Amino acid sequence: MAQYSRVAGSVALITLQNPPVNALSAAVRQGIVDTVERALRDPEVNSVVICGQNGKFCGGADIKEFGRQMSGPPLVPMIHAIEAGHKPMVAAIEGVALGGGLELALGCHYRIAHSKARLGLPEVSLGLLPAAGGSQRLPRLIGVPAALDLITTGRHVTAAEALKLGIVDQVTDHNTVDVAVKFVQSVAGQSMDSRRLSTRPCPSLPNLDAVFEGVMQRVRQSARGAIAPVACVQAVRAAATLPYPQGMEREKELMGTLFTSGQARALQYCFFAQRAVGKWSLPSGARWDTSKAMPISKAAVIGLGTMGRGITVALAQTGVSVVAVDTQERQLAEAKQAVSGMLERMAQKRGSAPPLGLVHYSNNLQAAADADLVIEAVFEDMALKESVFQQLSAICKPGTFLCTNTSGLDVDRLASHTRRPELVVGMHFFAPAHVMKLLEVVCGPRSSPEAVATAMQLGKKMGKVSVAVGNCPGFVGNRMLKPYVEQANFLLEEGATPELVDQVLEDFGFAMGVFRMSDLSGLDVGWRIRKADKLTDPSVPAGQPVRVRQGRRYSPLADLICEQGRFGQKTGQGWYHYDKPGGRVARSDPWLHSFLEEYRARHGLVARHIDHQEVLERCLYVLINEGFRILDDGIAAGPEDIDAIYVFGYGWPRHRGGPMFYASMVGLARVLERLEHYHQAHPDVPHLQPCRLLRRLVASGSPPVQRWREVIKRLHSQL
């Protein structure tokens, strides 16, 4: 809806009304069309101000209408009518002007923003482009380079930056509508010809072709297969090279391609999945809306290695006071320097003071006594963690939540070493913890709803996408990663190279292939876990590995690499070669290739040609299959949870929507058929055996991903 009123005698005030962000629903668009017409007709009115109710100008398209048949007046002619109007129109921007909201404002003759407002064209993040003239008007207003930056990244800008770029004409700290009303009166009666962006030429740019070529190359590289950023560049190029009407035709044509591509559906699914995971529920019946989160003002972090430092920074950034504890004096001193450095660098970027005073350091666990919540991040060693939890249970005040950052150990077993198992949950952060968006909140069978709610809420406050998951080895993310890495190793045994496997996965859109990723995280981590799991059997002499462990196929390749002291980037050698320890650029390593050849010869393995399809299917379908097992086991509540984990924590390309969404796009019957095929070829690999839930979903006609929860519920109720 849009409300019409007359203010200051001759100004029509049009107020968009659609809480919470006055999105452009069909009713709002109709309201704007009607009220603009009325204002233009009304002889008493000589100027118009458009604003949004409750301090929000307009958040853009109405997400409730996504995926539905379009109804109501379309945006393009509506914005044209505003721009063509013979009476001055001013957008009074408070709160947000995003997407279609900013496009509406660009149709107005002037834009006045409140100093706290944020503006942007985030369509690209939903697989689209600003197709209500935004891609054509913005470059005409602020020039090609700035418009390309905003449109291809979708980033939001502050009112101050918008003023500097020329998107808005004025910024105010006062009541924006009052300022706009006063302003519009001062220009009433003037010609608006020079203010219509569609009639302006794009500011000229020397070397236009070279600029676009450079930008296109950069965008293609960072888009990793996503087509929307590329289409955004093409649309801006049209603005720079074509007259406005033809530019609009091109915008429409590009939008049509994006709409039908499937990538937009995947990105919109991710958007909804991110919201869905906040509405968590547990098999116990505990839910997000009935569980109370406790406020956390003081936290303790135990163990200040890679993870503990990042977690400390992330907490302090949120305004939580932190006691940072490490029993090793050297580690403590190094951590102090590293944490302060990180906080200072981040504050410098923001132009604010670093919250150094919020962090206190200690070498004594006793310092955690009065913390509201403790996050343990000591070495991944069960006995050590058990002892730390035992001590914390005795030291901490009653009611302190005890959390562990373990990447896969049994949270329930740790809880059993405390006097308050109901206050124990996993808070599994990802490295680097102050940057990575994902937090797995691991709920043990005894974790109280309050403990889960508190960890989820704290994660949200820290800017994380928090996903509640059940307790099992590796939880969700790492449990699915295990068979994926395993397949990659099997492929090496059969004839592939790390370069081939990584190339296929990176072409798919992963930020890093599996081997480059393993080199980055450190091969010794997994080696230590396999040793603890007795997989690197000491009875098997080094260099004489057996390719079967615990009755199933096992590849000792990674263990052999570690035995050579090749731990990845940190040692300068792993699956690849690096210039020096800590080097970042992975180079193909002839040593590794001859090592693989010798290994195959020793085991009588004949290298065969492995094509891209096999690499992709075996790596991805085995991971997806584990995802179905996780759903069947109730470790994740729904496919959205798994997909959010993979998109925000494991570099899964967002334009492919997450592994479970991807499976639904490929077709569940196809995934099942390929898994059956590979399992037949490799009967000693149980992970390739299609899971019961996948079979069941195929049998029920492969319903869309949004309906899987119902099938799971039915399946479980029949047990």
* Residues of this chain that bind ligand NAI (CB under 6 A): 302-308, 325-328, 331, 377-380, 384, 388, 405-407, 429-431, 521
Catalytic member of 123, 440, 506, 626: 123
Helices 692-699 and 708-717: angle between axes, nearest 10 degrees? 110
Tell me whether residue 92 or residue 304 sits nearer to ligand NAI (CB atom). Answer: 304
Q: What is the DSSP letter of 56?
A: -
SS3 readout for 371-407: CCEEEECCCCCHHHHHHHHHHHHHHCCCCCEEEECCC
CB atoms within 10 A of CB 92: 30
Least distance to ligand NAI, CB of residue 538, Å: 23
Tell me whether residue 112 or residue 375 sits nearer to ligand NAI (CB atom). Answer: 375
Least distance to ligand NAI, CB of residue 534, Å: 19
376 among known catalytic residues: no
Question: Residue of minimal CB distance from ligand NAI?
Answer: 305
Q: Give the number of C-alpha atoms closer than 13 A to the C-alpha of residue 239, restricted to the C-beta side.
A: 35
With H, G, I as helix, E, B as strand and everything else as coil, classify residue 37.
helix
Tell me whether residue 62 or residue 376 sits nearer to ligand NAI (CB atom). Answer: 376
Tell me whether residue 383 or residue 606 sits nearer to ligand NAI (CB atom). Answer: 383
Least distance to ligand NAI, CB of residue 660, Å: 22
Least distance to ligand NAI, CB of residue 327, Å: 4
Least distance to ligand NAI, CB of residue 302, Å: 5
Strand 118-120 with 156-158, pairing: antiparallel
Query: Mind giving me the DSSP string for 597-657?
Result: HHHHHHTTPPP----HHHHHHHHHHHHHHHHHHHHHTTSSSSHHHHHHHHHHHS---GGGT
Least distance to ligand NAI, CB of residue 431, Å: 3
Tell me whether residue 205 or residue 333 sits nearer to ligand NAI (CB atom). Answer: 333
Catalytic member of 83, 94, 103, 486: 103
Tell me whether residue 57 or residue 401 sits nearer to ligand NAI (CB atom). Answer: 401
Tell me whether residue 72 or residue 432 sits nearer to ligand NAI (CB atom). Answer: 432
User: Alpha-carbon distance 369 to 365, whole Å?
Assistant: 8
CB 664 within 8 A of CB 626: no
Tell me whether residue 308 or residue 568 sits nearer to ligand NAI (CB atom). Answer: 308
Strand 110-114 with 548-549, pairing: unpaired
Q: What is the CA radius of gyration of the chain?
A: 29
Least distance to ligand NAI, CB of residue 474, Å: 11
Bridge partners, residue 12, by sequence: 6, 48
Least distance to ligand NAI, CB of residue 477, Å: 9
Place of tokens 């009713």: 27
Least distance to ligand NAI, CB of residue 605, Å: 32
Report the b/e string of 530-566 with b at 16+ CB within 10 A: beeeebbbeeeeeeebeeebeeebbbbbbbbbbeeeb
Q: Residue type at 223?
A: A
CB 497 within 8 A of CB 596: yes
Contacts of 169 (CB under 8 A, 6+ apart): 110, 111, 112
CA-CA distances (angstroms) from residue 659 to 276, 431, 593, 695? 16, 21, 31, 17
User: Alpha-carbon distance 716 to 712, whole Å?
Assistant: 6
Least distance to ligand NAI, CB of residue 429, Å: 6
Q: Residue type at 99?
A: G
With H, G, I as helix, E, B as strand and everything else as coil, classify residue 121.
coil
Name the nearest CA neighbour of 51 among 100, 3, 83, 7.
Answer: 3
CB atoms within 10 A of CB 691: 21
Tell me whether residue 110 or residue 389 sits nearer to ligand NAI (CB atom). Answer: 389
SS3 readout for 696-714: HHHHCCCCCHHHHHHHHHH
123 among known catalytic residues: yes
How many Å separate Cα 467 from the centre of its chain? 12
Least distance to ligand NAI, CB of residue 389, Å: 11
User: Alpha-carbon distance 261 to 397, whole Å?
Assistant: 55
Tell me whether residue 26 or residue 431 sits nearer to ligand NAI (CB atom). Answer: 431
Tell me whether residue 303 or residue 449 sits nearer to ligand NAI (CB atom). Answer: 303
User: Alpha-carbon distance 471 to 255, whole Å?
Assistant: 44
Strand 170-172 with 156-158, pairing: unpaired
User: Alpha-carbon distance 172 to 183, whole Å?
Assistant: 12
Least distance to ligand NAI, CB of residue 87, Å: 60
Tell me whether residue 68 or residue 330 sits nearer to ligand NAI (CB atom). Answer: 330
Q: What is the DSSP letter of 304?
A: -
Provide the annotated active-site residues: 103, 123
